[in-house]
């Protein structure tokens, strides 16, 4: 039972590495995530603010992962241009955009006043 859980964890980590190796936007998300964590530590944000930041970052990563998984699956179905596949990919990309926009909004709430105070 423990071995099966460890294998599942390994599959998930391999998926994360595939995401980072194949998706330039995932690498941008990684840099942004690290930057936000560093900023949160430097500015000593509150536990509630950490929770908001964690949820925002998690949503962006989840959306990017699901978008990438859908793209991989759709490309296995057909590399030909198909309108239904294009619509599905566009909707998945929109989900990433919405998650990223929400994360920017949360970032503005958590860090905005701190950034303005620097100037």
Based on the residue annotation, tell me whether 64 is a catalytic residue of this protein. Answer: yes
At residue 82, the 3 state secondary structure works out as: coil
Position 31 scores a pLDDT of 98
pLDDT category, 14, cuts 50, 70, 90?
Answer: very high
What predicted TM-score, i.e. pTM, was given to this entire model?
0.90
* pLDDT of 78 higher than 90: no
Instruction: Spot the catalytic one: 49, 64, 76, 83.
Output: 64
Taking phi over 0 as left and psi of -120 to 50 as alpha, with beta for the rest, 44 belongs to: left
Position 17 scores a pLDDT of 98
Binding site for a divalent metal cation: residue ranges? Answer: 71
* Matching residue, tokens 């980072």: 20
Range of lowest pLDDT (4-18, 46-60, 87-101)? 4-18
Annotate 18-48 with b (16+ C-beta within 10 A) or e (fewer): ebeeebeebeebeebbeebeebbeeeebeee
Range of lowest pLDDT (61-65, 78-82, 90-94)? 78-82
Binding site for ATP: residue ranges? Answer: 71, 89-90
Q: Give the residue extent of every domain in the chain.
A: 2-117
The CATH fold assigned to 2-117 is Helix Hairpins (1.10.287)
């Amino acid at each position: 039972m423990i071995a099966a859980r460890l294998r599942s964890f390994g599959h998930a980590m391999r998926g994360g590495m595939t995401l980072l190796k194949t998706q330039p936007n995932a690498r941008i998300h990684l840099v942004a995530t690290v930057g936000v964590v560093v900023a949160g530590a430097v500015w000593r944000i509150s536990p509630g603010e950490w929770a908001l930041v964690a949820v925002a970052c998690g949503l962006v990563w989840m959306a990017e992962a699901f978008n990438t998984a859908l793209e991989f699956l759709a490309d296995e179905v057909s590399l030909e241009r198909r309108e239904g596949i294009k619509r599905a990919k566009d909707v998945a990309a929109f989900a990433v955009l919405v998650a990223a926009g929400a994360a920017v909004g949360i970032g503005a709430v958590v860090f905005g006043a701190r950034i303005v105070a620097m100037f």
